[in-house]
């Protein structure tokens, strides 16, 4: 039976601490429904774009958004199909998580992994290899040098290795492993086995995300792990390869610690970003309490309100700290809006003005 080998490091513990703290804040935030729906949509768009871009998709983020919104985009048909497919994959895994519900045990099956793969490569590869294990040997090469960087296990072993992995996921031993670490292990092992002719990376990330969703780490569907990987794809691939190319006599002797350090750090960074956004959104909820009605503030207005809650006051000299990329006129326009709505007050002249919560 598959038994992952790894060590819980201080770095991993720190990452898990950040993840669980962020999860707590996000889960208990008074998100106004309009904001939550908006952020879920944005997270899905980022996951689709970065999850396919990481594998060579040429669409820009804006073009991917247009495709997802049903608009016509002039691009390679394959790129468009990849984006549509990955959206279907995310819908599929969210549907499973919703159907099972929190706190109920779910058995991961080989059939589920095959269906995720089928959705990933639909209309991209021949139906004979869609949702089916590869039947030939493949190698991974450096796209620039042509040098072989990794040779996966023989095709004949792939079905048995995947079954071994699902048996471990469903075992009692697996239930003792932190959900994020478990997701990282599953991601790595699927990438190592490389069970399909194409679409292995997207399938591995989707199954890892499914595990997190099922075990209470869906974080209200507001985060995109793919964005972290795609921000520095070289780190992503080199970390995977470094573990896979360890010189060991048995595959079970491979030490997954470097990969799990990297994976948990990615989840921690992404969830911390969501936590900070959610904190800013909670300003909107406080605005509602003050005015007796819901008011939607834009990103800059929320940042101003958050700054005033933390620092009690704000002057012109503080503009650059909060908005290094915006002109003073833009910031003053946002301040005027907040003042007109009765949320802040101004003392003093324009140059020496002090802004405070009203």
Which residues, other chains included, contact 79 with Cβ-Cβ below 8 Å and sequence gap of 6+?
Answer: 52, 57, 58, 59
Burial 124-153 (b: 16+ CB within 10 A, else e): ebeeebbbbbbeeeeebeeeeeeeebbebe
Q: How far is CA 255 from CA 141, 169, 347, in A?
A: 23, 18, 61
* Residue whose C-alpha is closest to residue 243's, from 301, 287, 292, 187: 187
Residue entry with tokens 């990933």? 120
Distance CA 266, CA 287 (A): 33
- Assess whether 194 carries a catalytic annotation: yes
**The residue count for the chain:** 358
**Coil, strand or helix at 48:** helix
Residue 15: count other Cβ atoms within 10 Å of its Cβ. 25
Tokens of 218: 């869906």
- Per annotation, catalytic residue among 194, 252, 309, 311: 194
**Coil, strand or helix at 8:** coil
Distance CA 30, CA 97 (A): 22
In this structure, what DSSP letter does residue 129 have? G
Strands 354-357, 344-347: pairing kind: antiparallel
Distance CA 153, CA 234 (A): 23
Strands 140-141, 354-357: pairing kind: unpaired
Burial 284-295 (b: 16+ CB within 10 A, else e): beebeeeeeeee
Residues belonging to the active site:
194
């Amino acid at each position: 039976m598959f038994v992952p080998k790894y060590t819980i490091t201080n770095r991993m513990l720190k990452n898990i601490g950040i993840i669980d703290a962020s999860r707590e804040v996000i889960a208990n935030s008074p998100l106004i429904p309009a904001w939550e729906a908006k952020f879920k949509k944005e997270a899905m768009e980022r996951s689709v774009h970065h999850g396919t871009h990481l594998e060579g998709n040429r669409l820009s983020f804006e073009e991917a958004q247009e495709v997802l919104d049903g608009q016509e985009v002039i691009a390679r048909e394959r790129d468009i199909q990849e984006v549509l497919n990955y959206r279907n994959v995310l819908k599929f895994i969210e549907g499973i998580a919703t159907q099972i519900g929190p706190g109920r045990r779910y058995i991961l099956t080989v059939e589920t992994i095959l269906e995720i793969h089928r959705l990933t490569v639909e209309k991209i590869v021949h139906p004979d290899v869609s949702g089916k294990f590869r039947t030939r040997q493949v190698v991974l090469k450096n796209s620039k040098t042509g040098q072989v960087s990794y040779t996966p296990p023989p095709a004949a072993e792939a079905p048995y290795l995947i079954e071994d992995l699902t048996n471990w996921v469903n075992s009692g031993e697996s239930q003792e492993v932190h959900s994020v670490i478990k997701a990282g292990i599953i991601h790595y092992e699927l990438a190592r086995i490389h069970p399909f002719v194409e679409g292995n990376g997207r399938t591995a990330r989707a199954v890892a995300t499914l595990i997190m969703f099922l075990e209470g780490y869906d974080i209200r569907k507001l985060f995109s792990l793919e964005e972290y990987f795609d921000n520095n794809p070289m780190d992503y691939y080199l970390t995977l390869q470094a573990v896979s190319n360890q010189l060991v006599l048995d595959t079970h002797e491979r030490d997954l610690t470097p990969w799990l350090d990297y994976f948990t750090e990615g989840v921690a960074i992404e969830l911390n970003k969501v936590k900070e956004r959610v904190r800013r959104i909670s300003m909107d909820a406080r605005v509602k309490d003050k005015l007796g009605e819901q008011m939607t503030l834009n990103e800059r207005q929320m940042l101003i309100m958050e700054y005033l809650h933390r620092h009690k006051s704000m002057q012109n000299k503080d503009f650059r700290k909060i908005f290094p990329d915006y002109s003073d006129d833009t910031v003053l326009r946002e301040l005027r809006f907040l003042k007109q709505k009765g949320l802040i007050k101004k003392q003093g002249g324009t140059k020496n003005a002090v802004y405070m919560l009203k």
